Structure 1
Amino acid sequence: MNEESVSQLYLKDTAFQDLMQRRIFNVLLVASPYDAFMMEEDGRVEEQLYFEYVALNLSSPPRVTRVSRPSEALDLLAVKRFDLIIMMPGIDLSETFVGAKEIKSRYPDVPIIVLTPFSKEVSRRLAKEDLTAVDYVFSWLGNVDLLLAIIKLLEDKMNADNDINEVGVQLILLVEDSVRFYSSVLPTLYKFLLKQSLIFSTEALNEHEQMLRMRGRPKVMLARDYEEAVALYERYGKNMLGVISDVSFKREGVKDSKAGIKLAKYLRERDPYLPIIMESSEEENAPLVKEFGGAFIDKNSKKFPVDLGNTIMKDFGFGDFIIRDPETGEELLRIHDLKDLQRHIFDIPAKSLLYHASFNDISRWLYSRAMFPIAEVIKNHRFRNIEEAPAVRQLFFDLIVKYRKMKNRGVVAVFRKDRFDHYSNFARIGQGSLGGKGRGLAFIDSIIKKNPICDNYDGVTLTIPRTVVICTDIFDEFMETNNLYPVALSDIPDEKILKYFLQARLPERLIEDFFALFEVVDKPLAIRSSSLLEDSHYQPFAGIYSTYMIPHVDDRYEMLAMLGDAIKSVYASVFYADSKAYMTATSNVIDQEKMAVIIQEVVGKQVGDYYFPSFSGVGRSLNYYPINDEIPEDGVTEVAVGLGKYIVDGGLSLRFSPRHADKVLQTSTLDLALRDTQTKFYALDMKRGVEADFKVDDGFNIAKPRIQDVAQTGALRYMVSTYDFRDQVIRDSDFGEGRRVVTFANILQHKVFPLAEIVDFMLTKGQEEMGRPVEIEFAGVLDVDARGKGSLYWLQIRPIVERKDIVDESILGLPDEKVLLRSNTALGHGNIDNVDTVVYVRPENFSSSNNSLIAREIEKINRNFTERNEGYVLIGPGRWGSSDTALGIPVKWPHISSARLIVESSLKNYRIEPSQGTHFFQNLTSFGVGYFTIDPSSNDGIYDVDFLNGCDAVYESDFIRIVKFPAPLTIGINGRKGSGVVVKPEVNTSI
């Protein structure tokens, strides 16, 4: 067993929701009114069953319908489906069994049970009847527990093939031919199993999981003779938890007083360690049972049910796991639960570990608790020599860790301060909503759980940070108990709102929970908003509210004060002026907004006084600015050193398509790499955070160190390269003299960390699971000492929702004569609004020798548009921004910064390979500017310059004309198809 084998455990998690799929919901009771009355004790059988189910935390108690005779049953069966028929014979036994045959012939799949009060006379009469149509006969002594046991026995049988053989649920085989005896044993057995499974289910992380876990309890099957028992063992033997057997029953059609002993020997040959409990009314059978190592119970004992329960508890792996000295039998250690086993695994003496492992005691104990994946691995692991004990202990420990991580993943646990530990992944405090980001994180966790590769993606773990969500009901309680709505909904300044919120008190009961959190998490904490409207599928609400970060300090009361202030500051941000304005703009009502708060480990490492991740990034599964051989569906990623707030605030991130990671435009030339890459980054200031008061600006404790300074510590290895000014080259190393340049070359080109592959996985799986294009956030920590491997944390997922994304396809499909511009290689996406002016270079007067003069003229024109805060369409030949004047007009970005759509158009005598906006790519993508490439002479697109020439100009020179239209132009771009149009306005003359 190696680490790779252990990681495969992810593939074997138990889908408890797929267990017990076939259930008994409707029961038909065929009994005389007197028998029915006696059975029901004045008509309460259904009510009693219901309370029995509720007491044992079982779902879906069955409905009982009563009829008096088999003929009435047939009439009812013709119009309604029943899952079980229970028949109580009256004075005429034969009527019941003849009726049963008739029913069985028409409805062979519906089980038929006969319930009868037992006496010697009834036994004698039953022996004469044809029982072929009856599945089981039970002795009715007025105990409603028997009805529960009958229903569960039949459900176990119906679900056995899937649950036992496919999933690994365990089976207890009861071999007994005495109707009276199995009628009393089965209720005892089921009551015991259901109560045990209720106890074990409390290891589940929430109530829903608890209900599902109960489906993993061991099943029970009844065999009434030797052959039936052997057949059941051959079918389900590899998952048998234990056998309870009588000694005397039929074998080969005749009563055999030692059939049980023979059965035990048959079973022992196949499984030497299978627990066998023999019950008999003959004491002389006890030594025979001892010979093969079974347990003996006297049927005549007044405390038989207690003896049976105690023996099952001891031999079948229920109760505490008692570690014994194999030589003396002395109890050395008592293990209560899985967490306890993990804590004490290294304390178990080697000889005891070997003894218990040899007899499958450990796996049996785990099986009884429905921990099938780990139980199966331990059962199949052969441990034969005491010298292997250290390795076995480590293996079992690693298995438990892996299993506990797996069970925590994909589940929103209820936060319990006594249960929250290093393997807890995602918990909630409160009963309200998780909010938008909280739901997104829970969804990510479920995606990770479904994909085992996340546990080891080429040496990198993909996970979410440890997270606790304070649900929206805590927000409601905080607002109401502190009477904050009058202040919050008023028009007072943000600073005053924050002051009121910071003076308010959070619910006292949170204190103990927060202390439990501090015990486990020893890293800085991010306190993030997770409102009901954030990350909604239908409106873009990301980034409206605050996210605060607090450093970790050892004093838990200081931590408590900082965390409390951070939570209250996030609550306050719901009611800041910007939030209210945004609410109004999106037609939402501020007092309907509810805020959950995410408390999350900050991803990163400490370097000096700074704490930051190696890198942070955002990705989109659609790229509206593909270049070279990229297509929109390849997606796009922006990544930067340090905290992700740097990207959100518009810093210089590195942009690449995860499927073309070796082609990064920003580092394709020396000039671009030195101009368009990051020189500073964001980090949490570990000192300033403790000393400073909370402010409206959530970045008050964020530092902005220089890349050059921190790179010298070695903390940015693999993310930075070094500019060698002597040789005028960039070397992909952080050694040597010279400026450090953030190129991510070692990651993207030299693959020391599979960032591009994992981002592509996240975008692809995220879009697939969400059913729409997505945007993600992530952060990573490189273990620079281990050759660049480390962890990647998936922080968020949300649908890509932009109102301007909706482009009317009918516009794009307009006939050529109605179109001013059409491009088949357009960059950008959506509608460009409020642009009514076209600035174009006059083709008839164009000569590349004048390109420098044209650039200066456009700079002046752009300055006027910028002063008026207006946009325009810019059209010209060649490559915009080329430093080579022979290839295009050498403008810089500030010279054309107010252009909302830029068009490269070839002329017949001036055909230059298009640039696709590469010179301004960073700005095009940041500001959402459209970029058209058109070559009319090759029938690649349309540029109706004659139409523009026929319009009156508001400005005209030798090189440039400006045409202004009375209404904004209709401009649409479909970024997925790369097509874009500008529609001709109705009026042909300007005003």
Structure 2
Amino acid sequence: MKVRKATPADKHTLQDLILHRVHEILLIASSYDAFVMEEDGGLTEQVLHEYIGMSFGNAPRIWRAETAADAMKMLQETQFDLVLVMMRISDMDPISIATQIKKLNSSIPIILLAFDESELKQLPDDLQGTAIDQVFIWSGNANVFLAIVKQIEDKLNIERDVNLGDVRCIILIEDRPRYYSTILPLIYKEISRNIKRLMDKSLNDTERLLHMRARPKILLATTYEEAQDFFKKYQQNTIGIISDIRFPKNGIQDPEAGQSFVRWARSVDPSIPILLQSRYEINAQLAKELHVNFVNKKSKSILQELRDFITINFGFGDFIFKTPNGEVVDHATDIEGLKNAIQTIPEESLEFHASSNHFSNWLAARGEFILASKIRPLNYRDFKDSNEHRKFLIQLVAEAIDLKKETHVVEFEPENFDPRKNFMRICPGSLGGKARGIAFSNSLLSEGELENEFPNVTIRVPQAYVIATAEYDKFMSDNNLWEKAIKTKTNKQIDALFQTAKLSESIEISLRAIIEVIKHPIAVRSSSLLEDSQYQPLSGAYATYMLPNNASKVNVRFHQLCSAVKRVYASMFHKEAIGLIESSVHSIEQEKMAIIIMELIGQSFDNRFYPTFSGTTQSFNYYPVSYMKRNEGV
């Protein structure tokens, strides 16, 4: 069986998720209620804080109308994505307001917001036949607004995002506004916390926001039929169910609706994780008989119990390998561990997890959406035996691990240093011209098919660590080097001046972490902003230092590396480099220096190191200027 190789287009799928967003919210509230929410509850500030804290991108803007008349006028003038209606409006009751709004725009969601459940007694018991779409209770915490917005966005986008990005979902069954107004924010917060905790360290801020778009959707169902419809449509993408025990079924409150739904759901998917909730501890025994988890709604530790259930059962914890009868046979904490465990687990455990989509759900929770989508459609019946199935899974995971090592410019973190990564950025700032070219070559090799054309040849970019330009700025500023470097007359004096300066503490920690692990010879190379400038490059202007990196003591190798880094910085102010810059259109103020610490490829023989290959290549010149010709090459 063949599975297509990942392509750059896969990365853009995340950008296409959550097409329908809530940007503009109209809050219809009396002046007093609005004052309480804004001044006492700090609504705007809290909403913004919650969005930033949970990495959900731009927070929606909240508009306010004090009367139904004002609201209708605003709705005619502005396109709103959501309407929130408070109970106490001077000129119209909430249901009448909602009815008028639906006549104007039938597709706009309308949420009734109350301060307490007792306020709802003046309304009909069943709001399903009215223009009110949902009721929420606001207790002073702005996270309920986030839950309202995200729950609406999830329902609007679930079908499209499942088809487009294979996103997962969680079904919450609860009909009491008081409880789902409390539980929904907790679930969203916990899901966000876990995704951020597990997100690949190599992702930049933009990529992290994109990955948050693929978080599991949360589908709130208030009746048995609604929950059943969700599970029938999205069973393959449902990672778990959190359910009340008593809720409406066939139009009436049914005290056994919860256990009925559990039995039905388990008949469809025997391994689906389920958590039952109840105010009565006696129902813990019922949950035990149904072989599902239980939490008491009155528990003082409900948040921690909910957190533990989500972490363990929704793929955010370690992967626990089990046999169908529940026996634990192995576990994995990361993707590498998953690959290793798949090699040795019993056949029955492999079949159990593969047939229950456990592998794909666990990988999706870690942001491995492409790999998860490849594994999801696999069926063990498609293979002639379990060994073929096992080998294929291992191959897919191994390829994903290799691809990550090759393509990503990983942000270096000393405490999480992975020496298998191929290209790492040690601090913020630009990579510089040379390092940028190396990173691009690395990406081209990983996305190309050269390994198929030359199966017996290993083609790769040497491992590299880049100190980006932010450290250069800090180094020059902290050591007051700018004026001194310009005034110093000889290269030797400039080198001596820079050797007395001190690198930042964070860079020294990173360099020490690197030097403790790598034992091969390295090149410390310049990578300035203008070094590979397209029309007036400063090629060859700055220094490169080769280090044997073979001293027995780590401190010796560490100080040699720090010294080489400072020497490369100093070479920017050597007279030859300054003269070359002055003869071009550039100025020294425009120039910044990044530094590449690069692996030297070769072989050791009789205590000597021999580079495997060294030389230059010539290609077509795609950017000829002046008298140059394309076929004269570069």
Fold equivalence (TM over 0.5): yes
Which residue of 2 is the match for residue 611 of structure 1? 610
RMSD value, Cα: 3.9
1:516 has 2:513 as partner: yes
Which residue of 2 is the match for residue 975 of structure 1? none
> Any unmatched runs of 5+ in structure 1?
623-772, 774-799, 806-827, 830-923, 929-991
Determine if contact 2:331/2:341 at 8 Å carries over to the other structure.
Answer: no
TM-superposed deviation, 1:417: 1.7
Which residue of 1 is the match for residue 449 of structure 2? 453
Determine if contact 1:88/1:115 at 8 Å carries over to the other structure.
Answer: yes
Which residue of 2 is the match for residue 528 of structure 1? 525
**Comparing 235-244 with 225-234, which one deviates more in the overlay?**
225-234
**Equivalent AA in structure 2 for residue 431 of structure 1:** P
**Equivalent AA in structure 1 for residue 25 of structure 2:** V
Instruction: Output one character per residue of 1:879-906: Cα deviation in whole Å (capped at 9) or x when no partner.
Output: xxxxxxxxxxxxxxxxxxxxxxxxxxxx
Determine if contact 1:14/1:167 at 8 Å carries over to the other structure.
Answer: no
Determine if contact 2:538/2:581 at 8 Å carries over to the other structure.
Answer: no
Taking structure 1 as reference, are residues 510 and 35 closer, same or farther at Cα in structure 2, changes over 3 Å only? closer
Determine if contact 1:33/1:68 at 8 Å carries over to the other structure.
Answer: yes
CA–CA distance in 2 between the matches of 1:579 and 1:156?
Answer: 57
**What secondary structure does 2:576 align onto?**
helix
Equivalent of 1:583 in 572, 577, 581: 581
TM-superposed deviation, 1:531: 0.9
CA–CA distance in 1 between the matches of 2:68 and 2:317?
Answer: 45
CA–CA distance in 1 between the matches of 2:578 and 2:304?
Answer: 67
Which residue of 2 is the match for residue 232 of structure 1? 230
**1:753-832 mapped onto 2 (5 Å cutoff):** 773=622, 800=623, 802-805=625-628, 828=629
1:199 has 2:193 as partner: no
**What secondary structure does 1:590 align onto?**
coil
TM-superposed deviation, 1:597: 0.9
Which residue of 1 is the match for residue 372 of structure 2? 375
TM-superposed deviation, 1:416: 1.0
Taking structure 1 as reference, are residues 128 and 607 closer, same or farther at Cα in structure 2, changes over 3 Å only? closer
TM-superposed deviation, 1:27: 1.6
Q: Which has the higher helix share?
A: 2
CA–CA distance in 1 between the matches of 2:488 and 2:36?
Answer: 73
Taking structure 1 as reference, are residues 438 and 80 closer, same or farther at Cα in structure 2, changes over 3 Å only? farther
CA–CA distance in 1 between the matches of 2:534 and 2:620?
Answer: 15
CA–CA distance in 2 between the matches of 1:18 and 1:309?
Answer: 30
Which residue of 2 is the match for residue 834 of structure 1? none
CA–CA distance in 2 between the matches of 1:591 and 1:131?
Answer: 69
**Equivalent AA in structure 2 for residue 406 of structure 1:** L
Structure possessing the higher radius of gyration over alpha carbons: 1
Which residue of 2 is the match for residue 489 of structure 1? 486
TM-score normalised per structure 2:
0.85
TM-superposed deviation, 1:605: 4.5
Determine if contact 1:454/1:463 at 8 Å carries over to the other structure.
Answer: no
Taking structure 1 as reference, are residues 177 and 289 closer, same or farther at Cα in structure 2, changes over 3 Å only? same
Which residue of 1 is the match for residue 619 of structure 2? 620
Taking structure 1 as reference, are residues 271 and 377 closer, same or farther at Cα in structure 2, changes over 3 Å only? farther
**Equivalent AA in structure 1 for residue 78 of structure 2:** K
TM-superposed deviation, 1:522: 4.4
Instruction: Output one character per residue of 1:497-530: Cα deviation in whole Å (capped at 9) or x when no partner.
Output: 4455456554454344223323554443222211
**1:523-602 mapped onto 2 (5 Å cutoff):** 523-553=520-550, 555=552, 556-602=554-600
Which residue of 2 is the match for residue 412 of structure 1? 409
**Equivalent AA in structure 2 for residue 137 of structure 1:** V
**1:840-855 mapped onto 2 (5 Å cutoff):** none
Instruction: Output one character per residue of 1:127-150: Cα deviation in whole Å (capped at 9) or x when no partner.
Output: 376744332122333332211211
**Equivalent AA in structure 2 for residue 79 of structure 1:** E
Determine if contact 1:313/1:319 at 8 Å carries over to the other structure.
Answer: yes
Taking structure 1 as reference, are residues 590 and 382 closer, same or farther at Cα in structure 2, changes over 3 Å only? same
Which residue of 2 is the match for residue 145 of structure 1? 143
**What secondary structure does 1:489 align onto?**
helix
Determine if contact 1:201/1:211 at 8 Å carries over to the other structure.
Answer: no
Which residue of 2 is the match for residue 970 of structure 1? none
Taking structure 1 as reference, are residues 305 and 560 closer, same or farther at Cα in structure 2, changes over 3 Å only? closer
**What secondary structure does 2:44 align onto?**
helix
Determine if contact 1:320/1:335 at 8 Å carries over to the other structure.
Answer: yes
Equivalent of 1:156 in 137, 143, 154: 154
Taking structure 1 as reference, are residues 399 and 562 closer, same or farther at Cα in structure 2, changes over 3 Å only? farther
Taking structure 1 as reference, are residues 416 and 456 closer, same or farther at Cα in structure 2, changes over 3 Å only? farther
TM-superposed deviation, 1:65: 1.5
Taking structure 1 as reference, are residues 254 and 509 closer, same or farther at Cα in structure 2, changes over 3 Å only? closer
Which residue of 2 is the match for residue 166 of structure 1? 164
Equivalent of 1:102 in 97, 100, 104: 100
Equivalent of 1:56 in 45, 48, 54: 54
**Equivalent AA in structure 1 for residue 413 of structure 2:** R
Taking structure 1 as reference, are residues 617 and 159 closer, same or farther at Cα in structure 2, changes over 3 Å only? farther
CA–CA distance in 1 between the matches of 2:20 and 2:241?
Answer: 25
**Equivalent AA in structure 2 for residue 89 of structure 1:** M
TM-superposed deviation, 1:362: 4.2
**Equivalent AA in structure 2 for residue 169 of structure 1:** V
CA–CA distance in 2 between the matches of 1:606 and 1:212?
Answer: 45
Which residue of 2 is the match for residue 32 of structure 1? 30
**What secondary structure does 1:127 align onto?**
coil
Q: Which has the higher strand share?
A: 1
**What secondary structure does 2:113 align onto?**
strand
**What secondary structure does 2:36 align onto?**
helix
TM-superposed deviation, 1:256: 4.3
TM-superposed deviation, 1:114: 0.9
Equivalent of 1:472 in 452, 469, 472: 469
TM-superposed deviation, 1:579: 1.8
**What secondary structure does 2:154 align onto?**
helix
Instruction: Output one character per residue of 1:344-402: Cα deviation in whole Å (capped at 9) or x when no partner.
Output: 66686777666655654444333333322333445555569xx9888777665554443
Taking structure 1 as reference, are residues 569 and 140 closer, same or farther at Cα in structure 2, changes over 3 Å only? closer
TM-superposed deviation, 1:314: 2.9
Equivalent of 1:89 in 83, 87, 90: 87
Percentage of pairs with the same residue: 36
CA–CA distance in 2 between the matches of 1:90 and 1:393?
Answer: 62
CA–CA distance in 2 between the matches of 1:181 and 1:452?
Answer: 53
Number of residue-to-residue matches in the alignment: 629
**What secondary structure does 1:197 align onto?**
helix
Instruction: Output one character per residue of 1:563-607: Cα deviation in whole Å (capped at 9) or x when no partner.
Output: 334333322332233322221221322344221111122344557
Determine if contact 2:201/2:411 at 8 Å carries over to the other structure.
Answer: no
Instruction: Output one character per residue of 1:515-555: Cα deviation in whole Å (capped at 9) or x when no partner.
Output: 33235544432222111212224433333323333334263
**What secondary structure does 1:172 align onto?**
strand
CA–CA distance in 2 between the matches of 1:551 and 1:515?
Answer: 16
**Equivalent AA in structure 2 for residue 602 of structure 1:** L
**Equivalent AA in structure 2 for residue 453 of structure 1:** E
Taking structure 1 as reference, are residues 597 and 307 closer, same or farther at Cα in structure 2, changes over 3 Å only? closer
TM-superposed deviation, 1:45: 0.8
